[in-house]
Amino acid sequence: MYVPELRADWLTQTSVHWAYSPDQVQRLLPDGLAVDTFDGSAWVSLTPFVMAGVRPPGFRTALRPFAETNLRTYVRGPDGRDGLWFLSLEVATPVMLAARAVGMPYHLGRLRLNRHAGGLEYTGARRGGRPRYRLAVRPGEPIRPSRRDVWLTSRWRAYTRRCGVLWETPVEHAPWPLREAHVDVVEESLVRAAGLPAPTDAPLVHFSDGVREVRLGVSHPIRSARAHPAGPRAPVAHRTAGGKRP
């Protein structure tokens, strides 16, 4: 266990996943990180959700709920442990911009979640820039997660890079309760803005009502990242289904 730096609830989350070649993703990663793969493919996920009950250090009361959307991929750190690398983070409140101090690529923008009969629509546009998205989904019935589902959703650390040094942020929460989802609309330019070609294949989609009492630990630099880089930029193959906290 660790002393949490921030607590929050992550709610009403949709994840849209696209497969890419490992080489396409690896070139976007810093030294010290290697792309993680499942059945030979790297994956990139667009994930809009609602942040609620956020209690940053020094705040006596929780912030009002706000929308956030991340574009992420799946990696292995210098010690071989799996985690996330964020290609971009869109957020509707300036408070979260403080996380740029440890390299979190936050961008302030206009983000909204609209509910309608049987469905949800997420929209967002980065302030002062062109990247934007619109995602309309219809959540379905609960599913029993497959090995790939667990691989995509059970990640217990995020890596960032600041001043030439890799940082790690640990996270704890209950397993995501997953539901099937049907996509009616997916329009986005975040993927190309991150340096990847626009997706061409139909995505894999998950919906979750969310997890509560998420605990984010204190970010810390990985001092060995400079002295012991991950070596050649080669993909790391999936070995286990994961799903447990470190």
pLDDT tens per residue across span 32-63: 999 999 999 999 999 999 999 998 777 778 88
What is the rounded CA–CA span in Å between residue 216 and residue 5? 6
Neighbouring CB atoms inside 10 A of 211's CB total: 18
What pLDDT, on a 0 to 100 scale, did the predictor assign at position 4?
65
Enumerate the H helices of the chain as residue ranges. 22-26, 147-153, 190-193, 224-227
- Which residues, including other chains, have CB under 8 Å from residue 162's CB and lie 6 or more apart? 101, 102, 103, 221
Instruction: For residues 130-141, give the mean pLDDT.
Output: 96
**If pLDDT is split at 50, 70 and 90, which confidence band does 245 have?**
very low
Residues 176-225: tens digit of each pLDDT: 999 999 999 999 999 999 999 999 999 999 999 999 999 999 899 997 54
Residue 155 near residue 84 (C-beta atoms within 8 A)? yes
Residue 44: predicted pLDDT: 98
- Cα gap 127→234, rounded to integer Å: 35
Distance CA 212, CA 65 (A): 13
- For residue 228, the model assigns a pLDDT of 39
Look up residue 76 and give its two tokens.
Answer: 């292995």
Mean of the pLDDT values across residues 137-142? 97
**pLDDT score recorded for residue 35:** 98
Q: What percent of the chain lies above the pLDDT cut of 90?
A: 75
Note the pLDDT of residue 227: 37
